[in-house]
Amino acid sequence: MSKSKSSESVKVVVRCRPMNEKERAAKFERVVTVDVKLGQIMVRNPREASASEPPKVFTFDSVYDSNSKQIDLYDETFRPLVESVLLGFNGTIFAYGQTGTGKTYTMEGVRNDPERRGVIPNSFEHIFTHISRSQNQQYLVRASYLEIYQEEIRDLLSKDQARRLELRERPDTGVYVKDLSSFVTKSVREIEHVMNVGNQNRSVGATNMNEHSSRSHAIFVITVECSELGVDGENHIRVGKLNLVDLAGSERQTKTGAQGERLKEATKINLSLSALGNVISALVDGRSSHIPYRDSKLTRLLQDSLGGNARTVMVANIGPASYNVEETLTTLRYSNRAKNIKNKPRVNEDPKDALLREFQEEIARLKEQLQKRSVKKKKKRQRRKAGEGSDGEDGEDGETEDDDEDGEDRGDYWREQQEKLERERKAIMEDHSLVADEKARLLREKERKMEDLRKEKEAGEMLAAKVKAMESKLLVGGKNIVDHTNEQQRMLELKRQEIAEQKRREREMQQQVESRDEETLELKETYSSLQQEVDIKTKKLKKLFAKLQAVKSEIQDTQEAHIKDRQDLEQTQNELTRDLKLKHLIIENFIPLEEKNKIVNRAFLDEEDEHWKMKPITRIEDDHHMMTRPLSAVGYRRPLSHHARMAMMMKPDMRYKAENILMVDMDLPARTTKVYQEPVIAPKVAAALEDALRDEDEIQVDASGFHSSLGPTPPASASGSLKKPKSGRPRTGKKSSTPTSPFSPSSPGSPLYPQSRGLVPK
**Residue 335 touches which of Mg ion, ligand ADP, none (Cβ within 5-8 Å per kind):** none
Extract the runs of DSSP E, i.e. beta strands, from 290-381.
310-318, 342-343
Nearest C-alpha neighbor of 31 from the set 39, 430, 23, 427: 23
Largest Cα–Cα separation, the chain: 138
Give the one entry of ligand ADP, Mg ion, none that residue 743 binds, where binding means its C-beta sits below a cut-off of 5 to 8 angstroms depending on kind.
Answer: none
Q: Considering the complex, state which of residue 335 and residue 755 has its C-beta at the smaller distance from ligand ADP.
A: 335
DSSP-assigned letters across all residues of 445-486 = HHHHHHHHHHHHHHHHHHHHHHHHHHHHHSEE--TTTT-HHH
Burial 674-691 (b: 16+ CB within 10 A, else e): eeeeeeeeeeeeeeeeee
102 touches, from Mg ion, ligand ADP, none (C-beta below 5 to 8 Å by class): ligand ADP
Residue type at position 94: F
CB of 301 to Mg ion, least distance (A): 19
* Residue closer to Mg ion, measured from CB, 185 or 213: 213
Give the phi and the psi of residue 601 in degrees, each rounded to 5: -65, -30
Q: How far is the CB of 665 from Mg ion (least distance, A)?
A: 54
Q: Which is nearer to ligand ADP, 329 or 475 (CB)?
A: 329
By beta-carbon proximity to ligand ADP, the closer residue of 102 and 758 is: 102
- Least Å distance between CB 63 and ligand ADP? 12
- Would you call 16 helix, strand, or coil by DSSP? strand
Please state at what angle helix 355-388 crosses helix 436-473, rounded to 10 degrees. Answer: 150
Whichever of 118 and 277 has its CB closer to ligand ADP, that residue is 118
The number of helix segments (H) and strand segments (E) in the chain equals 23, 19
Q: With CA atoms as reference, report the closest residue to 241 among 292, 197, 180, 198.
A: 180
From the list ligand ADP, Mg ion, none, pick the one residue 724 interacts with, judged by a Cβ distance below 5 to 8 Å according to partner type: none
Give the shortest CB-601-to-Mg ion separation in angstroms. Answer: 47
CB of 246 to Mg ion, least distance (A): 6
The amino acid present at 480, given as its one-letter code, is N
Pairing of β 11-16 and β 310-318: parallel
Closer residue to ligand ADP, CB minimum distance, 215 or 410: 215
CB closest to Mg ion, residue no: 104
Pick between residue 34 and residue 703 the one whose CB is nearest to ligand ADP: 34
Q: Which is nearer to ligand ADP, 128 or 220 (CB)?
A: 220
**DSSP labels for 685-744?**
HHHHHHHHHS--TT-----TTHHHHSSSPPPHHHHHSPPPPP-SSPPPHHHHT-S--S--
Amino acid identity, position 631: L
CB of 336 to ligand ADP, least distance (A): 19
CB of 257 to Mg ion, least distance (A): 27
Nearer to ligand ADP, 320 or 758 (CB): 320
> Which residue type does 555 have?
I
Binding segment toward Mg ion, per CB under 5 A, in 100-108, 222-230, 679-687, 730-738: 100-108
Closer to ligand ADP by Cβ: residue 18 or 711? 18
Q: Which partner, Mg ion, ligand ADP, none, binds residue 18 by CB below 5 to 8 Å per kind? A: ligand ADP
Q: Contact at 8 Å (CB) between 399 and 392?
A: no
User: Which listed option, ligand ADP, Mg ion, none, makes contact with residue 312 (CB within 5 to 8 Å by class)?
Assistant: none
Q: Determine contact, residues 259/575, Cβ cutoff 8 Å.
A: yes
Partner from ligand ADP, Mg ion, none contacting 360, C-beta within 5 to 8 A by type: none
Q: In whole angstroms, what is the distance from residue 114 CA to residue 105 CA?
A: 13
Question: Is 307 or 319 the residue whose CB approaches Mg ion more closely?
Answer: 319
Does 106 participate in binding Mg ion (rule CB under 5 A)?
no
Cβ atoms 587, 580 nearer than 8 A: no
Please report how close the Cβ of residue 196 comes to ligand ADP at its closest, in angstroms: 17
Exposure of 417 in the CB half-sphere (CA atoms within 13 A) = 21
Q: Pick what 199 binds: ligand ADP, Mg ion, none; C-beta below 5 to 8 Å, kind-dependent.
A: none
Stretch that binds Mg ion, among 104-112, 201-209, 302-310, 551-559 (CB under 5 A): 104-112
**Residue 100 touches which member of ligand ADP, Mg ion, none, C-beta under 5-8 Å by kind:** ligand ADP
Q: How far is the CB of 181 from ligand ADP (least distance, A)?
A: 25
Q: Which of residues 377-406 bind Mg ion (CB under 5 A)?
A: none
Best CA proximity match to 74, nearest among 18, 19, 13: 13
103 or 217: whose CB is closer to Mg ion? 103
SS3 560: helix
For residue 45, the partner it binds in ligand ADP, Mg ion, none, with Cβ less than 5 to 8 A by kind, is: none
Compare residues 108 and 225 and give the one whose CB is closer to ligand ADP: 108
- Other beta carbons within 10 angstroms of residue 611's beta carbon come to 9
- Touching Mg ion, residues 550-589 (CB under 5 A): none
* Partner interacting with residue 17 (select from ligand ADP, Mg ion, none; CB below 5-8 Å by kind): ligand ADP
209-228: contacts with Mg ion (CB under 5 A): 213
- Chain residue whose CB lies nearest ligand ADP: 102
CB of 300 to Mg ion, least distance (A): 23
State yes or no: residue 104 binds Mg ion (CB under 5 A). Answer: yes
| Binding status of residue 134 toward Mg ion by CB under 5 A | no
What are the residues binding ligand ADP (CB under 6 A)?
Answer: 17-18, 97, 99-105, 214, 249, 317
Secondary structure, 3-state, 329-341? HHHHHHHHHHCCC
Cα-based distances in Å from 75 to 199, 345, 386, 493, 506: 25, 21, 68, 8, 16
Report how far residue 85's alpha carbon sits from residue 225's, in angstroms, rounded to the nearest whole number: 10
- Would you tell me which residues interact with Mg ion (CB under 5 A)? 103-104, 213
